[in-house]
Chains A and B, each alone.
Chain A
Amino acid sequence: MATKNFKRVYVWELPVRVFHWLNALAITILIITGFIISNPPAVMTNHEASQQFWFGYVRKIHFISAYVMVAVMILRVYWAFVGNKFSNWRVFFPFNKKGMKNVWHVLKYDIFLQNEQSENIESFSIGHNSVATISYLVMFLLALLMMATGFAMYAPTSSWFFPKMFTWVTPLFNDNEMLIRKVHHISMWAFILFMAVHIYLVLFHDWLEGRGEASAMISGQKFVCSERVQEDIKK
């Protein structure tokens, strides 16, 4: 038996890919610098303080990465309204019958590893599957929390309007910045855990389905069996 006929489908448009990789880069840098800021390594040196500024630079890199993350988040939100159907905001709210069916499917077959009687081509998601979109929605909200808590701590030392937009956050935390810091720190762990699960599942899908799951975020294209493409056209 030969393999199915696959069609190349342009799923992830350029802005989505730019968002993905810049976001990944920014988050990685934010996590690394964040750990350093929360507990700086002991540096033994004979240099005077006037000759070095490394901790200042670490914080600077943290702040620059934060701005990058915010910028690409704005880009992504914009693209959720003008981009293709796979990047549309609606896919991130799969709280309807079809979406829930997909959630159930993903849990049953991808997470709990049951098998289907016969391969059902309908069940392969072309863009995000619904469990993934729910997780992205949660991460988006967490990113907003990160942004709010981060810029709330940053605002007092900035005169720019953007960080100043977050000064209302501090009173919400009872004006207790140690608490804000704690929330910021704990939420970071959610990003680390998300990244671990996300990367594993991408590899899992790529390995199991062989449709270019991983490389799709580079080329933007996925392989979709031709029957499925026909169907989509008919719709």
Chain B
Amino acid sequence: MKQESNQNQTYLQSIEANGYTRRDFMKFVAFIGAYMGVENTAIGQIAKALETTPRLPVIWEHFQECTCCSESFIRSDHPIVADIILDKISLDYTLTLMAASGHQAEAAKKATMDKYKGEYILCVEGSVPLGADGNYCCIAGKSALETLKESAAGAKAIIAWGSCATTGCVQAAKPNPTGATPIEKIITDKPIINVPGCPPIGEVMAGIIVHVVTFGRLPELDSAGRPKAFYSKRVHDSCYRRPYFDAGLFAETFDDENAKKGYCLYKVGCKGPSTYNACGNIRWNGGVSYPIQSGHGCIGCSSNNFWDAGSFYTRDASVIGGGIEADADTIGKVAIGAVAAGAAVHAVASNISKRKDLNRRIHNAIENEKRVEE
């Protein structure tokens, strides 16, 4: 098999074998280094690592997902990312992109798992259904859960691609009929890199893989297991519409004058202020644009449970979901009305019931007043 024969090549060798020049290679290194946010001096390190280290075997599992993560990855800006890192070289097993199929594909995976035990990187796209004994998602006669446990056992590290694998995404939205579960809830004894987003940005994915390859260790992660280089800032903090936000200039609807002027989309439900992602910096489709630039608010695709976080088009504070959705402010107003009414009733009632006390005190006070000498 082609993959087998390529196994011991370094990245550079594979890249050159695919017809790229050294110049292309150096451009790629500079490009990916910039995305990874490493210092200038690390560029040489990356180049050296790609020149000398034999490629890292990668197994890429697909469970309950829509393949948008793979799509995003292969559309990453630089052709080398798609061609070399993913498509032609690195993947020993990925249902969607590999040439082999059926038993052949499974055999390839098995071979990699045995040969590179403890060395290969396991990428997981999609969530794992735990409902109905895992029967909602079966591949090659095994449930997703079995497959995951099997391939995770010998993995050096796991990369959980996309919101499905990191939080469950749409399948885990209420009522989560399949019991969709994110990877880190199932595999707890392996280092896991969470790369949320629906999908994550292709360059981010490439940057993470290159990081693992070149430095031989995981990138720095935050408390939620996300690489800090890409997920430490809110979309809002790098949004080019931020000056409008601070100036209090908002689009009220998607078709008003303010929207045309490119004002901030906060009031039409933008979730940028609560979403951690690199969209504002790296953008999408090779840096062409990102949702906000195209006039749509961020829907918060990289935050947990974003499907259940309320409407994409309002910043509501709904308290009760579903058909009887009630806004916190509406309940608040009713409550304050009730308090006011209660106070009024109490005031009137106390005038009646405490009349005796009150009259006595007022009467005494008036008596005293009379006795005051001016």
Contact = CB atoms under 8 A, between A and B. Distances in A.
B172 to A, nearest CB: 11
A174 interface: yes
Contacts of B332: 189, 192-193
25 contacts: A1-B364, A38-B317, A42-B250, A42-B252, A54-B247, A55-B246, A55-B248, A114-B353, A153-B274, A175-B304, A177-B274, A177-B303, A178-B271, A178-B306, A178-B309, A178-B310, A182-B328, A189-B328, A189-B329, A193-B336, A196-B340, A200-B346, A204-B346, A204-B350, A210-B365
A225 to B, nearest CB: 12
Interface string B241-273: 001111111101000000000000011000101
B270 to A, nearest CB: 11
A192 B337 CA distance: 12
Interface in B305-349: 305-306, 309-310, 315, 317-319, 328-329, 331-332, 335-336, 339-340, 343, 346-347, 349
Contact of A56 (B247, B274, B315, B368): B247
A40 B267 contact: yes
A3 B252 contact: no
Q: Which 8 A-B pairs have the closest CB atoms?
A: A177-B274, A55-B248, A56-B246, A189-B332, A49-B247, A113-B353, A178-B309, A200-B343
A115 B353 contact: yes
A31 to B, nearest CB: 11
A210 B368 CA distance: 14
Given A111-B346, A176-B303, 17 more contacts: A2-B368, A3-B367, A40-B250, A40-B267, A49-B247, A49-B249, A53-B246, A55-B245, A56-B247, A113-B346, A113-B349, A115-B354, A181-B274, A196-B339, A196-B340, A200-B343, A208-B358
A129 to B, nearest CB: 16
A47 B273 CA distance: 24
Name the residue among B305, B317, B349 with the largest chain A CB count within 10 angstroms: B317
Given A53-B247, A175-B303, A39 B267 contact: yes
Contacts of A156: 232-234, 237, 276
Contact of B304 (A50, A176, A185): A176
B253 to A, nearest CB: 10
B357 interface: yes
A179 interface: yes
Given A54-B248, A177-B274, A182 B317 contact: yes
Contacts of B267: 39-40, 42
Size category of the A interface is 35 or more
Interface string B42-60: 0000000000000000000
Interface string B182-198: 00000000000000000
A186 B317 CA distance: 8
A51 B305 CA distance: 38
B361 interface: yes
Given A113-B349, A115-B357, A176-B305, A171 B339 contact: no
A171 B343 contact: no
Interface of A: 1-3, 38-40, 42-43, 45, 47, 49-56, 58, 111, 113-115, 119, 153, 156-157, 167-168, 170-171, 174-182, 185-186, 189, 192-193, 196-197, 200, 204, 208-210
A171 B226 CA distance: 13
Given A174-B305, A189-B328, A40 B266 contact: yes
Contacts of A115: 353-354, 356-357
B26 interface: no
Contacts of B349: 113
A175 B237 contact: no
B41 interface: no
B339 A197 contact: yes
Given A113-B349, A181-B274, A189 B223 contact: no
Contacts of B224: 171, 175
B154 interface: no
Nearest to B267: A40
A204 B353 CA distance: 13
Given A156-B234, A177-B274, A204-B350, A39 B315 contact: yes
Contacts of B246: 49, 53, 55-56
Given A113-B350, A178-B300, A189 B309 contact: no
A1 B362 CA distance: 11
A193 B335 contact: yes
B309 A176 contact: yes
A52 B247 CA distance: 5
Contacts of A2: 364, 367-368
Contacts of B336: 192-193, 196
A209 B350 CA distance: 12
A124 B278 CA distance: 61
Contacts of B274: 153, 176-178, 180-181
